[in-house]
Amino acid sequence: MPLPPGLNKTDFADALRQFEQALGKEWVFSSDEDVNLYRDSYSPFWHETEEPIPSAAVAPDGVDQVQRVLKIANAFRIPVWTISTGKNLGYGGSAPQLSGSVVLDLKRMNRILEVSDKNHYALVEPGVSYFDLYRYIQEKGLRVWIDCPDPGWGSLIGNALERGGGYTPLRDHFDAHCGMEIVLANGDVVRTGMGALPNSKTWQQYKYGFGPHVDGIFSQSNFGVITKMGFWLLPEPEAYFSANVTVPRRDDVHQLVEIFAHLANSKIVDGTTGVIDNTAFGPPDPQRAALRVGGSTRALEDYLKEKDLGYWSLDLPFYGPAKVIQAQWEYAKEKFSTILGVRFRDVDSHRFPLSAADLAKIPNPVPLGVPSLTTFAIGGPRSQGHMWFSPIIPMTGQAVLEAQEVFEKAYRELGSPEGALPGFPVWSFFARAFVIIYFIPIEHDVEKNRKNRAVFRSLVKTAAERGWGEYRTHTAFMGDVMAAYSYNNHALLRLHESIKDTLDPNGILAPGKNGIWPRNMRRRA
Amino acid sequence: MKWALLLLAFLAAPAFAQDDAVRRGQQVYQKWCSPCHAPGASMPGTAALQFHYNGSKPAVLEERTDLTPAMVKGLVRNGVYVMPRFRKTEISDTELDAVAAYLTRKK
């Protein structure tokens, strides 16, 4: 395994001994066999020397041990890459950005410190997964929902810090947090918001506290190690209902999205959904595919009509009291009825709490606040992994059409990567904007991965030329994406770097995370 | 009599220990493996094994009779297809021994 950059074997052995004294020998991993477990299981650099590989991993069990690890790392100038549950698959997994980093594995810090079903919040440590919190709530019989991303083994803290999304009204996970505890590089422990008040009674109930609200700079960054975070939970709703809207013509997307945006921004529809292009989505259909490449828009519209499908499809999720939901759906139908040929269909309806037997019948329970791993079937049974290209685009029909056109053209010009699916839905994971999440496959094939990395980088540039940027990315492309956020000669990155230099002068915390490098490793073209 | 009981306890101890490992293994399996490998077409692990074995072996891991401890441990630590590696902070070596005992128990 590689050594930390700039460290010789003797000094590294000394550092490992000090880590062992701080944490116990059992929780310092330095054998090849153990360190291998921290490599990215979906690495786009399989069998290439560019794959970032850690030098070791350490697993503290509390804040004091995190402080001791950082003190040693500062003394030896060892880069430390923090993971929570280490399941950031598709975005780098548990592997660092920089080879030779020591992984700071917080999985053992897995305490659920508080769950309130009266004011609906939780306080957890980084090692707590969505599965863990869900099981805890079920065991205690609490009537609160968590909001899960698709992979349920992720960390609430890790996912929120990466600004992941789920499905319910609390689907923007960073937005749903309330209060943090941070260990800074110098070992100082900071609590944000009301947590800065000794004996605070409202740490998880009021976000801002007093003075600057600093939480944002600790997301997608390398300015501190987050050791606790509060989250708002959803009171268990009385009911869930989803319904489907289809419209027959390509140009209907403008009105469809405009009405949806109005409903979503009015909180009449308050959950994640996707605008689906039926010409590109669904089971393989050679006739439809041929029409899509060589046929006219009219021919595609006619073909989909024959198949009793709309050109565009949109599911609307509703959470809340059954009577309110019904009224919301009626209102939504009234609005969409201005589109000629629109069709409506009831899809799914549940009352809560669900019995175990009813829950078992639901193929994907994630929109109901129940963690799952069903999403991992996405690449099919031969899949060896994936990464995600995920640009944010405006919530307009024009942007949907433009994004389809631009990205499909880019795929064609670059030679469509095998398995990539340009027909993926346009999602409403976040308020006010859409995100498209394109699947790019990973394989144990050097040439294919090289090609797909080139495709990925090209897509980042293509998006940036249109004014679209990724909301999150794999460690392999963090520099590329940050470089695209270049307004005023990279003023935002320069601000990040100023903060980095102040908070972490030795540059020990996650060098390269989201394109932010410490001063001694900074290199800009 | 006392000696006979002690002898019985001594002889039975490995069997009890094995039962204990199987019980513990089942708990670890439920937590870490069943979200992908439980019965059901929506389970990615079960669906993948159904595809790869096409019915020649059970798609549900708990129903398999051909697994060995080395296979179980190797797959958990190395991953296969879309299944990632599992670290020792997630599944310890002791817990992995127990999962292996559970999946290779006599059925």
Collapsed DSSP state (helix, strand, coil) of residue A158: helix
pLDDT band, very low/low/confident/very high, at B42 (cuts 50, 70, 90): confident
> Does the distance separating the beta carbons of A131 and B84 come in below 8 Å?
no
DSSP A312-339: EEEEEEEEE-HHHHHHHHHHHHHHHTTS
Per-residue burial over B73-82, b if 16 or more Cβ lie within 10 Å, else e, is beebbebebb
What's the pLDDT at A438? 87
Q: Is pLDDT at B98 greater than 80 in this prediction?
A: yes
Length of chain A: 525
Q: Is A387 on the interface with B (CB under 8 A)?
A: no
* pLDDT tens track for B65-75: 999 999 999 99
> Does the distance separating the beta carbons of B44 and A376 come in below 8 Å?
yes
What gap in Å lies between CA A341 and CA A89, rounded to an integer? Answer: 41
**Cβ contacts from A onto B, under 8 A:** 73
Tokens of A310: 């709309």
Contacts of A379 in chain B (CB under 8 A): 82
* pLDDT tens track for A293-317: 778 899 999 999 999 999 999 999 9
What gap in Å lies between CA B82 and CA B59, rounded to an integer? Answer: 16
Collapsed DSSP state (helix, strand, coil) of residue A413: helix
Cβ atoms within 10 Å of A141's Cβ, excluding its own: 8
Tokens of B24: 């513990």
Q: How far is CA B26 from CA A137, B23, B98, in A?
A: 22, 5, 8
CA distance A370 to chain B (A): 12
Which helix (H) or strand (E) segment is A57 a member of? strand A56-58
Long-range contacts at B75-82 (CB < 8 A, ≥ 24 apart):
B77/A33, B77/A37, B79/A41, B81/A381, B81/A382, B81/A383, B81/A384, B81/B48, B82/A42, B82/A376, B82/A379, B82/A383, B82/A384, B82/A385, B82/A386, B82/B44, B82/B48
Cis peptide before A353 (omega within 30 of 0): yes
pLDDT band, very low/low/confident/very high, at A419 (cuts 50, 70, 90): very low
Q: Is A34 on the interface with B (CB under 8 A)?
A: yes
CA distance B93 to chain A (A): 11
Whether A412 and A459 have beta carbons less than 8 Å apart is answered as no
pLDDT band, very low/low/confident/very high, at A155 (cuts 50, 70, 90): very high
What's the pLDDT at A525? 47
* pLDDT tens track for A332-360: 999 999 999 999 999 999 999 999 999 99
- pLDDT above 90 as % of chain B: 76
Closest CA to A136 of A160, A174, A110: A110
DSSP label at residue A155 = B
Q: What mean pLDDT comes out for the span A416-424? A: 57
DSSP label at residue A485 = -
CA distance B60 to chain A (A): 15
Q: Which residues pair with A287 in a beta bridge?
A: none
Q: Is B42 on the interface with A (CB under 8 A)?
A: yes
- The model carries a pTM of 0.95
Length of chain B: 107
Tokens of A65: 């041990």
Residue partners of A3: CB distance under 8 A and separation at least 6: A9, A12, A55, A100
> Does the distance separating the beta carbons of B36 and A373 come in below 8 Å?
yes
* pLDDT tens track for A390-415: 999 999 999 999 998 888 877 777 67
Of A164-173, A323-332, A370-379, B94-103, the range with the lowest mean pLDDT is A370-379
Whether A78 and A508 have beta carbons less than 8 Å apart is answered as yes
Tokens of A277: 């292009």
Q: Is A384 on the interface with B (CB under 8 A)?
A: yes
Residue type, A434: F
DSSP A71-106: HHHHHHT--EEEESSS--TTTTTT--SSTTPEEEE-
DSSP label at residue A355 = P
Does the annotation count A471 as an active-site position?
Answer: yes
Q: What mean pLDDT comes out for the span A486-500? A: 98
> Does the distance separating the beta carbons of A36 and B84 come in below 8 Å?
no
Give the one of A33, A93, A384 whose C-beta lies nearest to B82's C-beta: A384
Q: What mean pLDDT comes out for the span A72-81? A: 98
Tell me which of A38, A39, A68, A91 is the catalytic residue.
A91
pLDDT band, very low/low/confident/very high, at B12 (cuts 50, 70, 90): low
What integer best gives the mean pLDDT of chain A?
Answer: 94
Q: What mean pLDDT comes out for the span A477-494? A: 98
Tell me which residue has tokens 């290199």.
Answer: A523
Collapsed DSSP state (helix, strand, coil) of residue A108: coil
Cβ atoms within 10 Å of A160's Cβ, excluding its own: 25
pLDDT band, very low/low/confident/very high, at A187 (cuts 50, 70, 90): very high
Of A140-144, A185-189, A193-197, A452-456, the range with the lowest mean pLDDT is A452-456
Closest A-chain CA to B53: A381
DSSP B39-76: SSTT-HHHHHHHHHHTTSS-SSGGG-SS--HHHHHHHH
Does the annotation count A77 as an active-site position?
Answer: no
Q: What mean pLDDT comes out for the span B25-43? A: 95
Q: Is pLDDT at A177 greater than 60 in this prediction?
A: yes
Does the annotation count A91 as an active-site position?
Answer: yes
Contacts of B40 in chain A (CB under 8 A): 360
Q: Is B34 on the interface with A (CB under 8 A)?
A: no
Tokens of A476: 């392999």
Give the one of B40, B77, B89 whose C-beta lies nearest to A107's C-beta: B89
Strand order in A343-351's β-sheet? A343-351, A239-247, A312-320, A274-277, A426-427, A433-436, A391-394, A469-470
Q: CB-side exposure of A300: number of CA atoms within 13 Å?
A: 22
Residue partners of A341: CB distance under 8 A and separation at least 6: A247, A248, A249, A252
What's the pLDDT at A423? 66
Long-range contacts at A409-417 (CB < 8 A, ≥ 24 apart):
A410/A455, A410/A458, A410/A459, A410/A462, A411/A455, A414/A451, A414/A454, A414/A455, A414/A458, A415/A451, A417/A441, A417/A448, A417/A451, A417/A452, A417/A455
Q: How far is CA B90 from CA A24, A387, B34, B86, in A?
A: 17, 23, 15, 6
What gap in Å lies between CA A420 and CA A440, rounded to an integer? Answer: 5
What's the pLDDT at A418? 47
pLDDT band, very low/low/confident/very high, at A379 (cuts 50, 70, 90): confident
